[in-house]
Amino acid sequence: MLATLEVRRIASARLRDAKVLLAAKRFDGAVYLCGYAVELALKARICKTLKWSGYPESNKEFEPLKSFRVHDLDVLLRLTGREGAVKANYFVEWSAVAAWNPEARYKPIGSANESDAQLMLESAALLLKKL
């Protein structure tokens, strides 16, 4: 198991990495890492909601929990128990990040522009604080 606090720390680290990429005008990478930061923050919140000490890390740990081995941010948000509150209070920010998926790594270079990356970063930063 990956301890819940460690999952949160990794989420924050990915957000910091995204800021560095944004500053270097590497917009695709910034958007991509923001998505992972939000994914990790959601997984940490699921741990808190379910009173787990950590999030499954290995294939063996995931065996009985396959429904939790997803990257779909909407599914993960639903599992946190905070879907209504997040969508009601942070609709714009959630909308900015909800379209993300890990398949973005296959998008052509230049798919994201500076404003896309800035919006994703600001939205992810706020959501990380609120989850």
Instruction: Report the pLDDT value the prediction gives residue 68, as an integer from 0 to 100.
Output: 72
Instruction: Report the pLDDT value the prediction gives residue 29, as an integer from 0 to 100.
Output: 97
Amino acid at 114: E
> For residues 92 and 5, is the Cβ–Cβ distance under 8 A?
no
Token readout for 39 is 């994914």
Q: Is 21 exposed, middle or buried (0-12, 13-18, 19+ CB in 10 A)?
A: buried
Cα dist from 119 to 20, 56, 57, 112, 126, whole Å = 15, 30, 30, 11, 11
Instruction: Report the pLDDT value the prediction gives residue 58, as an integer from 0 to 100.
Output: 77
Chunked in runs of 10, what are the mean pLDDT values of the chain (131 residues)? 94 98 98 97 95 84 73 94 97 96 90 97 97 93
Buried b (16+ CB within 10 A) or exposed e, 43-81: bbbbbeeeebebbbeeeeeeeeeeebeeeebeebbebbe
Instruction: Report the pLDDT value the prediction gives residue 104, as an integer from 0 to 100.
Output: 86
